[in-house]
Structure 1
Amino acid sequence: METKAASMPKLMYGTAWKKDATKDLVLMAVRAGFRGIDTAAQPRHYNEASVAAGIGEAISAGIVKREDLFIQTKFTSTSGQDPDNMPYDPNAPLEDQVHASVASSLRNFAFGTPEKAYIDSLVLHSPLNDIADTIRVWKALETYVPHKIRQLGISNTNLLTLNELCSNPDITVRPACVQNRFFHATQWEVMLRAYCRPKGITFQSFWTLTGNPELMKSPPVVRLAQSAQIDAVRALYALVLGLGGTTILDGTTNEAHMKDDLEIPGLVDSFSQSADGQSTWSECLVDFKALIGEHP
């Protein structure tokens, strides 16, 4: 019997650039309460095998079961790979590159039962240079849905490519998520997120802290932090989640911060529904939307 897919959490643990610390940090994140883990079959920036090792240790310790977790990895084309360390033959046809990459990820996330291995979400790391090649890769990924891969997504995309994946009649599996930078240079993806929202496509925000030092000091973030008695990091996260249809990639390496960050969704619910906090939350969210150019 096929295991029921886990739902995508509001906060996912991001594992980019964790290098030799990856296994221990992933185990720490799961212990802290993270149930969504993001990685990639791209050794240049990620260590997928160590991500799997950290999860495997958490499963062996009885902290979680596989079905409790939302595991997301990526297929990365040759342009984003280390030329000396790829999970596939760069000279092989695109479809074969996809199959080799997915096979390597499924081996990593087998956890002792290869026949039951699956991935909750597989993201195309970036569109390829040619839209026809992007479609070729996407259709190769479709062959794994819904059994070995439960959903597909795309990262580092523009609206034109996303619309092609959503409207092309040759495509049968539509994107379930888009993982893009959330910062000023992309205008906080206001238009792309507006496109995603009615289609039920989740926007996965990354660079949420690194790319937004100005937002961290902005009046709505400061006011919410003071009113809810939280720091600016968690106030910014709360407002990004408040935009709707969003999930945040959180890459902190601090265990205390992990636990604090995971409290944000519940804290927002309680604060925004309280007699004292309801109006403050609404006003902060309206001001935050105006600040990033998003209007009701």
Structure 2
Amino acid sequence: MTRSALFEKLALHAPHLSGRHAIPALPAFIYGTAWKKGATSDLVYEALSNGFTAIDTAAQPKHYREDLVAAGIHRAIKDGKIKRSEVYIQTKFTSVGGQDPDNMPFDPKSPLADQVKASVISSLQNFNFADVVAEGEAQYIDTLVLHSPMPTLNETLEVWETLEQFVPSEIRNLGISNCNLFTLMDLYERARIKPTVVQNRFYPSTKFDIGVRQFCKEKNIVYQSFWTLSANPGLVGSNETRSLANQVGISPQSALYCLVLGLGNVTVLNGTKSVQHMQEDWNAVKTVKEFAQSHPERWDAAVASFRRLIGQPKP
């Protein structure tokens, strides 16, 4: 990544798509909608009104309100805040083990492939914007993510092969979350349609996914970091993060986001409920990008120090 391209949107490498199925590139931040409950619709609307163009959710009523995510997007499109072609919508298939037993988007007793199909169909029904968009743009999902690998590789591949049946018409891309390097390598090797995104926790227990992120970079897979602030109070309070924050006049939290983005080939899930923080985080990205371009040596030093802090070798 050149300094001039710092924090620019990341295009998804998807050779299976034709030109008519172009999707928005991934921006620095994806708005995370977990645990927003009844406030989900309003928060999604505010996010789309304050810099966000990408939304992450899941067909998992236990932790997400996918229907209210869709309602917030619908309202933003209707009010002219954003076009459907400009917003990146990402949802997930969550297996029985991650669902509320009393509230699932599929019959848990049905065959696995049928569970996947029912979940996808329920998501497509939610993300139907036929009354506010042109024909052909009404009902599709930009990326469908397998929320976690299944208990066995064969089951993971069965889910994946079922999802592939929806690509590219109803689903543009596929991804996986909560995935270790060995599972990712197996899936990549065996899948007909390769994953285009990996969404994982960025935290010390996995050594900040250095191996996974390197594999993603090699295979043109975009790495999506989540739990970036909550799991890393040590990084937020580190000398490296506070030094950047002080140099450019932003919060340590925003500075950590920018340092993670500075690792390259990374987008960050940002689930703030505060409109002020939404604006501050986007402004911080702009400020740090300008800093990197005007003071390249200082920015390089900041990123190099951060890499050392998390134990990542030089690129």
What TM-score comes out, normalization by structure 2 length?
Answer: 0.90
Contact 1:16 1:45 in 2 (8 A): yes
Code of the aligned partner of 1:154: I
Code of the aligned partner of 1:6: P
Most deviating of 37-46 and 55-64 = 55-64
Q: Which of 118, 139, 155 is the aligned partner of 2:161?
A: 139
Q: Which of 88, 99, 102 is the aligned partner of 2:106?
A: 88
Match of 2:241 in 1: 221
Contact 2:216 2:223 in 1 (8 A): yes
Query: SS of the residue aligned with 2:171?
Result: coil
Contact 1:2 1:147 in 2 (8 A): no
Q: Which of 49, 65, 68 is the aligned partner of 1:50?
A: 68
Query: SS of the residue aligned with 1:258?
Result: helix
Match of 1:178 in 2: 198
Match of 1:209 in 2: 229
Code of the aligned partner of 2:310: I
Q: Following the alignment from structure 2 to structure 1, what is the Cα–Cα distance between the partners of residues 237 and 301?
A: 17
1:79 aligned onto 2:101: no
Q: Following the alignment from structure 1 to structure 2, what is the Cα–Cα distance between the partners of residues 211 and 295?
A: 22
Moved beyond 4 Å, runs of 4+: none
CA deviation map 1:216-241 (0-9, x unaligned): 11111111011111110111000000
Q: Following the alignment from structure 2 to structure 1, what is the Cα–Cα distance between the partners of residues 21 and 264?
A: 28
In the alignment of these two chains, the number of paired residues is 292
Give 1:268 shift. Answer: 2.5
1:189 aligned onto 2:224: no
1:240 aligned onto 2:260: yes
Give 1:2 shift. Answer: 4.3
Code of the aligned partner of 2:249: Q
Q: Which of 211, 220, 226 is the aligned partner of 1:200?
A: 220
Match of 1:155 in 2: 177
Q: Following the alignment from structure 1 to structure 2, what is the Cα–Cα distance between the partners of residues 273 and 58?
A: 33
Q: CA RMSD in A?
A: 1.3
Query: SS of the residue aligned with 1:200?
Result: coil
Match of 1:259 in 2: 279
1:107 aligned onto 2:125: yes
Q: Following the alignment from structure 1 to structure 2, what is the Cα–Cα distance between the partners of residues 241 and 177?
A: 15
Contact 2:21 2:168 in 1 (8 A): no
Give 1:68 shift. Answer: 0.8
Query: SS of the residue aligned with 2:176?
Result: strand
Contact 1:224 1:280 in 2 (8 A): no
CA deviation map 1:111-135 (0-9, x unaligned): 1269631000110000010110000
Code of the aligned partner of 1:142: E
Q: Following the alignment from structure 1 to structure 2, what is the Cα–Cα distance between the partners of residues 222 and 280?
A: 14
Query: SS of the residue aligned with 1:151?
Result: strand
CA deviation map 1:267-291 (0-9, x unaligned): 22210111xx322211111010011
Give 1:3 shift. Answer: 5.2
Q: Following the alignment from structure 1 to structure 2, what is the Cα–Cα distance between the partners of residues 185 and 142?
A: 32
Code of the aligned partner of 1:257: H
Give 1:264 shift. Answer: 3.5
Give 1:209 shift. Answer: 0.3
Code of the aligned partner of 2:140: Y
Q: Which has the higher contact order (CA 8 A, sep 6+)?
A: 2
Contact 2:21 2:172 in 1 (8 A): no
